[in-house]
């Protein structure tokens, strides 16, 4: 798993990596930062990077906030349409994303959202996967604390944000990392919904960069290195919470 990353960084540090015939020859040849400097300063790379960062951040925050509210309602509230809403959420999970590609594209064009952040964020601001995962986690949390807080006069929103959400921090961290990673690497829909350079995200920019520069492996790997760094850093920061959510619950009896 680590070797492809290592190989990417090694290629990015060589001015003409395609001229080397084996790994040892490449490793012991001079290193240079020229590819990184060129990639960062040319072809609107910084614009692509910022677009990806804005889109991934907005979608991640939306999934954590709105997804948690819906999941809490499904897990704790017994309203009439509870099962209908849950069935709808589960039904969306079995629909391949490529099936809705054309209808979604027509909606974006009808709303006039082409080349806007609305097109890149609104369709994914809440996901059925996030709702279902959060619901399953919330159901496992003891409701005694919530009932005691409700008897003390706490409103539903205070219970959600002061009690349930802090207890759900591990699973929220997992969801945030997953959603951020998914949207950071998203290519198909950003490619469909943007046709100007100032709104392209990093995966789209890298793909078009490859087309412009034929097969310039050094610059391409430098761009890919920049693209992978935020995700690697994000996981390193939250790795303890991610592992904790996989190994244990929020409370122990």
pLDDT in tens, the chain (253 residues): 788 888 888 888 887 777 777 777 778 788 888 888 877 776 688 889 899 999 999 999 999 999 999 999 999 888 888 889 989 988 888 888 888 899 999 999 999 999 999 999 999 999 999 999 999 999 988 888 888 888 888 888 899 998 999 989 888 988 998 899 899 989 999 999 998 988 999 888 887 766 554 667 777 788 888 888 888 887 788 777 666 655 654 444 4
Domain boundaries, the chain: 52-200
The Cα–Cα gap between 180 and 153 comes to 37
The Cα–Cα gap between 115 and 100 comes to 19
CATH number of 52-200: 1.10.3720.10
The Cα–Cα gap between 157 and 92 comes to 27
What's the Cα-to-Cα distance from 232 to each of 10, 130, 140, rounded to whole Å? 17, 21, 30
**Residue 77 CA, distance from chain mean position:** 29
């Amino acid at each position: 798993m680590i070797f492809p990353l290592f190989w990417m960084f090694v290629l990015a540090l060589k001015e003409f990596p395609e001229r080397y015939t084996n790994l040892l020859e490449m490793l012991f040849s001079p290193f240079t930062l020229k590819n990184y400097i060129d990639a960062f300063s040319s072809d609107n790379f910084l614009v692509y990077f910022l677009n990806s960062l804005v889109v991934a951040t907005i979608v991640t925050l939306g999934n954590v906030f709105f997804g948690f509210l819906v999941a809490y309602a499904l897990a704790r509230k017994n309203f009439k349409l509870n099962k209908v809403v849950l069935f709808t959420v589960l039904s969306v999970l079995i629909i391949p994303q490529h099936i809705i590609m054309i209808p979604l594209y027509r909606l974006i064009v009808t709303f006039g959202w082409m080349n806007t952040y609305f097109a890149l964020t609104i369709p994914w601001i809440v996901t059925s996967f996030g709702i279902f995962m959060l619901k399953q986690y919330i159901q496992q949390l003891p409701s005694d604390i919530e009932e005691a807080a409700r008897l003390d006069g706490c409103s539903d929103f205070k219970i959600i944000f002061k009690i349930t959400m802090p207890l759900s921090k591990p699973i929220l961290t997992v969801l945030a990392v997953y959603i951020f990673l998914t949207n950071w690497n998203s290519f198909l829909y950003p490619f469909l919904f943007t046709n100007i350079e100032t709104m392209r995200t990093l995966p789209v920019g890298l793909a078009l960069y490859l087309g412009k520069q034929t097969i310039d492996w050094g610059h391409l790997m430098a761009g890919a290195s920049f693209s992978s760094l935020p995700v690697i850093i994000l996981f390193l920061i939250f790795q303890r919470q991610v592992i904790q959510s996989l190994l244990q619950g929020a409370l122990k009896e």
